[in-house]
Structure formats: structure tokens, C-alpha cells
């Protein structure tokens, strides 16, 4: 497949984000069955693991990519890369803003109806607000990468 250095780099970011944070969020959902203290400890462990993994995977894979495409890595982003990055950022930003408003709406809703928390087992996940915000951020990143890749693929 005829891909530029930047496109390959975005593929790495997309796949690693999907795998690492996909696993993270699946594990977070399963925490609702645990007691609160155990769930909090597990959440911290999962968060640190995901953070550590994404940093390591990105550094190692991007470094390997740059080493195998040294000339392209030194050239940096050209005007087409920057245009696609800009378009991707627009999509990602929209998703992030929607996520922030959903989170705000949830906070306000639960403030008005606190009894809902006790009725729902899913809402008993510790730090749920933080997870929703994190999910919004990760989803916005996935949308951003996907939009850029769409533009790259469309211009071939």
C-alpha cells in the first residue's frame, strides 16, 4: 500500500489507541461488580497500565517508523499533511465538545436526582465522571485519526 510517513504514523496511533484504551474501558465496565474500595484500586492500576502502555508503544513504534523512513521523518509534515491534520482536528474537537457537554449534563442531572446513583449498578463505577471524560477524549482522538486516514485514503 502506498502510504506516506505521516499516514503510517497515524495508523500506529489509531491502532495502539484502540487496542490499549479498548481493553482499558472493557475492564472499567467490569469493575461495577467489585466493592467500592477494590474498584478504586483497580481503576488506578488500569489507568496507570494504559498510560504506561500507550507511551511505550507510541515511542517504540514511532521511533522504529522514523528509523526506517529517516528522510521522510526529517521532512516533517507537508501542506497536504497539515490540511488533513486540520480537518481531522475539527472532527475530533466536535466529538470532544459533545463529550464534555454530556458529562456536564450528567453532573447536573445527578445533582438534581441523587437517588438514581443508588438504583443503578453501572453508575457505581468509581470515578465514573472521569471515565466518561476520558472516554470522550479517547473517542475524539479515534475520530481525529480516522478522519485524517479517510482523507489520506481518498486522495490516492
Binding site for other proteins (CB under 8 A): 2-7, 72, 75, 78-81, 151, 154-156
Q: Which residue, 74 or 118, is less far from other proteins as judged by CB?
A: 74
Q: Which residue, 7 or 141, is less far from other proteins as judged by CB?
A: 7
Spatial distance between the Cα atoms of 148 and 40, rounded to a whole number of angstroms: 36
Compute the least distance from the CB of residue 134 to other proteins, in Å.
33
Spatial distance between the Cα atoms of 93 and 118, rounded to a whole number of angstroms: 33
Burial 120-144 (b: 16+ CB within 10 A, else e): eeeebbbbbeebbbbbbbbbbbbbb
Q: Which residue, 47 or 62, is less far from other proteins as judged by CB?
A: 62
Q: 45 and 34 in contact (C-beta within 8 Å)?
A: no
Compute the least distance from the CB of residue 66 to other proteins, in Å.
14
Q: Which residue, 119 or 154, is less far from other proteins as judged by CB?
A: 154
Instruction: List alpha helices for 31-127, DSSP H.
Output: 36-68, 70-75, 79-112, 115-119
Angle at the Cα of 35 from the Cα atoms of 136 and 135, rounded to 5 degrees: 5
Compute the least distance from the CB of residue 144 to other proteins, in Å.
18
Compute the least distance from the CB of residue 71 to other proteins, in Å.
9
Q: Which residue, 112 or 156, is less far from other proteins as judged by CB?
A: 156
Compute the least distance from the CB of residue 34 to other proteins, in Å.
48
The grid coordinates of residue 156 equal 490516492
Amino acid at each position: 500500500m502506498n502510504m506516506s510517513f505521516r499516514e503510517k504514523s497515524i495508523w500506529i496511533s489509531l491502532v495502539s489507541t484502540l487496542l490499549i484504551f479498548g481493553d482499558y474501558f472493557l475492564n472499567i465496565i467490569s469493575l461495577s461488580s467489585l466493592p467500592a474500595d477494590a474498584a478504586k484500586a483497580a481503576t488506578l492500576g488500569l489507568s496507570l497500565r494504559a498510560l504506561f502502555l500507550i507511551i511505550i508503544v507510541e515511542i517504540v513504534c514511532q521511533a522504529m517508523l522514523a528509523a526506517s523512513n529517516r528522510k521522510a521523518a526529517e521532512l516533517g509534515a507537508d501542506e497536504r499533511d497539515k490540511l488533513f491534520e486540520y480537518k481531522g482536528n475539527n472532527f475530533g474537537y466536535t466529538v470532544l465538545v459533545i463529550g464534555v457537554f454530556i458529562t456536564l449534563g450528567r453532573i447536573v442531572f445527578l445533582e438534581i436526582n441523587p437517588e438514581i446513583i443508588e438504583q443503578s449498578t453501572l453508575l457505581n463505577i468509581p470515578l465514573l465522571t472521569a471515565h466518561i471524560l476520558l472516554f470522550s477524549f479517547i473517542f475524539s482522538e479515534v475520530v481525529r485519526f480516522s478522519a485524517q486516514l479517510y482523507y489520506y485514503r481518498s486522495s490516492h
